[in-house]
Structure 1
Amino acid sequence: MAGSSHGHTPAAWTGVTIAFIGFCVAGAFMVMAQPVGFWAGMAIVVLGGVVGAVMRAMGLGMPKQATALTYQAAPAATREPAGAQS
């Protein structure tokens, strides 16, 4: 995945960070047996997805043409072997 630049955008980082905070909040309130706090944490998780989608719509995500090129094969080398002469 690292070679395809998957998720290396401000929209992805922001959305995942907000969702992570939401999971932490929900987990803490689940341990404290507070259902309202748990559902508040789940709302923060959803908010992370919404923020990520809005930022992608604003142009802070991966460009659409780049996603189509992500999994194409690399072009063949055009260089001749080291010992070959024309």
Structure 2
Amino acid sequence: MSTQHEEPGHGDSPAAWTAVVVMLIGVAAGTVFFFLHNPTMVWVSAGIVALGAILGWVLAKAGYGVNGPKYSPKTTD
């Protein structure tokens, strides 16, 4: 007996994916620049991580979050 219930979304939205990808790029770049002993670019990469978090929040407020009007969840059978 299986009961289906609605998932809360788990961040599977354009806003969440965009935020995570931008932050992942920032962390990867920061790691490389840390290895290359370039502190200025490490801080720029930290700024990119912060920008990714802000971008995700802005996109969620613009309606691209899990419960936003511009988000259409994928259905699985």
TM-score for both structures, normalised by structure 1:
0.68
Q: Which runs of 4+ in 1 moved over 3 A?
A: none
Give unmatched runs, 5+ long, in structure 2.
Answer: 1-6, 69-77
1:54 alignment partner in structure 2: 58
Whole-angstrom distance in 1 between the partners of 2:45 and 2:24? 10
2:47 alignment partner in structure 1: 43
Give the Å deviation of 1:63.
1.4
Question: Aligned runs of 1:1-86 on 2, under 5 Å?
Answer: 3-63=7-67
Identity of counterpart residues, as a percentage? 34
- Higher-Rg structure is 1
Give unmatched runs, 5+ long, in structure 1.
Answer: 65-86
AA partner of residue 9 (structure 1): S
AA partner of residue 10 (structure 2): H
Give the Å deviation of 1:4.
3.7
TM-score for both structures, normalised by structure 2:
0.76
Identify which of structures 1 and 2 has the higher relative contact order when contacts are C-alpha pairs closer than 8 Å and 6+ apart: 2
